Amino acid sequence: MVKIKYVKRPELENRERIFFIDFIKGMKVTLKNLFRKTVTTYYPFEKLTPPKRFRGTHAHRVKDGTEPPSFKVIEKFMDIKDGESRCVACYMCQQACPVPELFKIEAIQTEDGRKRVVRFDMNLLNCMYCGLCTEACPVDCLIMTDIYETAAYHRGSCVTHMEDMAERAVDFDRRRKDEPDRIWIDDKERSKLWGQIKWS
Amino acid sequence: MELVGTVVVLVIKSVIFILGMFLGAAYLTLLERKFAGHVQQRPGPLHVGPHGFLQPIADALKVLTKEDLVPDNVDKVLFYLASLMAFVPAIMILAVVPFGDPFTIFGVEIKPYITDINVGLLLALAFGSISIYGVIFAGWASNSKYPMIGGLRKAAVLIGYEVALGFALVGPIMMAGSFSLREIVEAQQNIWFIIPNILAFVVVIFCVLAETGRTPFDVQEAEAELVGGYVTEYTGMKFGLFPLAEWYIATFVLSAITVILFFGGWNPIPFLGWLPIPAFVWFFLKVFLLFMFFLWVHWTLPRYRVDQITELAWKVMLPLALANIFIVAIWIIIFG
């Protein structure tokens, strides 16, 4: 049996009743806050940098010689030039995705018998940014970047294509490839706001 | 001829007072928003003009150009009357508020008040109470359940605090021996009336908060439970008049009256009388500090329930006001 302990709400003391002690305590808190620094980020003018592991808009890493061995073994079967998306159209991302109609991937056979990916569209309106597709990618192609401004004026603009994704990954790697992989980064703005974060 | 001169002077003075109060109220909104922001560690309005200084003008333009909707089944007369009813009496209290002693400039004697009648305080109280009817009418006329509840709540609270307020003002009146606000100030040249009337001051603070519907006692609009309270069905400038009247003009004017009653009006702060500061600066400084105190309370405390306010008014504030009368009577017997 669960024992239930009844606790009486403490009555106010006369001292508290007469001199509004709680009232003064509350006023003290607001006065203290009044002179504190504001914590607002002036959003369109200044933006916080998310951590590197942030799950933002998707991107495709390009073929630039840093591929994992899994890509190296099938490289000769693929018709991919340097600087193009290294996607091999294995459909693992589509398999992993919990949303049925999110990916549209098409690949064709070129005349010399190699495989070429001609279409890799993601409808980000349906995406819940769970990151399962990036975990499924065997060639370290599909990644998630730190871009979080995904609003657009038309639904069509929310569908992201292979070329855009390649560009995005190049940009992301240029900015953050060498950054140590931490849950939170030592952002200058962030440390200004909340102080230095201690890493375990 | 003399009559025409008086009328012209009064009209000019009234226009100055009303325009000044309008502009003042507009900038009081900015003050409140800045204060509220910083209390919650955000900066408040920031982008319209330097540090949001032109924000009130932008707000005014926005509110004035908004579409003015009137719902179908409202009581049209009361619906239109209510916003004026809240606003006009609140600004009419200014007629009896003196801002300083008469002074002479370029050989012309200027009285910095519109009128000094011998029942000024009663008139101020009456206008303050009429202003509340705007809220109750708005609740009734809106033909909607939330405004109705808001209006009824205000009516319930009104009965509670008006009695206590009336009794609380007896103390200063007894000590000054006059209802005229100017004479009450002149009676405080040696000692402010706050000294024996501290209980009455507490009661008056309570009543001003309840009358202007500021937060511990803002049951009539209670945005968390009543959507918008009595202003739910209002739009545009008709909506804008209510907060302007209640939160800014009424609070400011009632602060002025509280300063006159308890803090010596335009008399300088004790031991600082040698400073070369004109009387009305002292007055506005005190009113400003009291207004900031109301803001401070507003942005600190949570909301009381209606029954709690009524209980507080009848069981605590009314006895306190009566006790204050007793104390003041004894004070007068002892010190003359």
Min Cα–Cα distance to chain B from A51, Å: 24
What value does the CA radius of gyration of chain A take, rounded to a whole number of Å?
26
Q: Token pair of B79, please?
A: 């619906």
A48 — pLDDT class (breaks 50, 70, 90): confident
- At position A101, the amino acid (one-letter code) is E
Q: From CA B147, how far away is CA B230, in angstroms rounded?
A: 4
Phi, psi angle pair for A9, to nearest 5° = -70, 130
Q: 3-state class of A115 per DSSP? A: strand
SS (H, E, C) B51-72: HHCCHHHHHHHHHHCCCCCCCC
The pLDDT of residue B107: 67
pLDDT tens column, B271-288: 776 777 777 788 888 889
Min Cα–Cα distance to chain A from B38, Å: 5
Among the listed residues A136, A45, A55, the one whose alpha carbon sits nearest the alpha carbon of residue A88: A136
The pLDDT of residue A193: 62
What value does the CA radius of gyration of chain B take, rounded to a whole number of Å?
20
Query: Which residues of chain B have a CB within 8 Å of the CB of A40?
Result: 41-43
Searching chain B, which residue's CA lies closest to the CA of residue A23?
B301
A31 touches B: beta carbon within 8 Å: yes
Cα A147 from chain centroid?
Answer: 7
pLDDT tens column, A138-192: 888 999 998 888 888 998 888 999 988 999 999 998 888 877 666 555 566 666 6
Are the beta carbons of B166 and B115 closer than 8 angstroms? no
Are the beta carbons of B221 and B308 closer than 8 angstroms? no
Are the beta carbons of B120 and B181 closer than 8 angstroms? yes
- Going from the C-alpha of A23 to that of each of A26, B181, B199, the distances in angstroms are 5, 31, 17
Query: Which residues of chain A have a CB within 8 Å of the CB of B43?
Result: 38, 40
Among the listed residues A126, A131, A62, A67, the one whose alpha carbon sits nearest the alpha carbon of residue A100: A126
Among candidates A23, A36, A42 on the partner chain, residue whose Cβ is nearest the Cβ of B41: A36
Min Cα–Cα distance to chain B from A194, Å: 14
Are the beta carbons of A96 and A132 closer than 8 angstroms? yes
- Other CB atoms within a 10 A radius of the CB of residue A52 amount to 18
A105 — pLDDT class (breaks 50, 70, 90): very high
Among candidates B37, B46, B296 on the partner chain, residue whose Cβ is nearest the Cβ of A30: B296
User: Which residues, given as ranges, of chain B have pLDDT below 70?
Assistant: 107, 273
A200 touches B: beta carbon within 8 Å: no
Ranges of each domain in chain B: 1-65, 72-101+115-335
Query: Which residues of chain B have a CB within 8 Å of the CB of A27?
Result: 296-297, 300
**B301–A38 C-beta distance less than 8 A:** no
**Cβ within 8 Å of residue B229, ≥6 positions away:** B139, B146, B147, B149, B150, B220, B221, B222, B223
Among candidates A30, A35, A42 on the partner chain, residue whose Cβ is nearest the Cβ of B299: A30
The pLDDT of residue A178: 79
A and B: number of Cβ contacts within 8 A? 33
Q: From CA A92, how far away is CA A107, in angstroms rounded?
A: 14
Q: From CA A175, how far away is CA A150, in angstroms rounded?
A: 19
A32 touches B: beta carbon within 8 Å: no
Min Cα–Cα distance to chain A from B201, Å: 14
- Proportion of chain A above pLDDT 70, given as a percent: 90
Are the beta carbons of B94 and B157 closer than 8 angstroms? no
- At position B126, the amino acid (one-letter code) is A
**Cβ within 8 Å of residue A184, ≥6 positions away:** A51, A190, A197
- For residue B270, how many C-alpha atoms fall within 13 Å in the half-sphere facing its CB? 9
B319 touches A: beta carbon within 8 Å: no
DSSP-assigned beta bridge partners for residue B23:
none
Query: Which residues of chain A have a CB within 8 Å of the CB of B42?
Result: 38-40
* Predicted complex ipTM: 0.74
The pLDDT of residue A188: 67
**Cβ within 8 Å of residue B84, ≥6 positions away:** B134, B241
What is chain A's mean pLDDT, rounded? Answer: 85
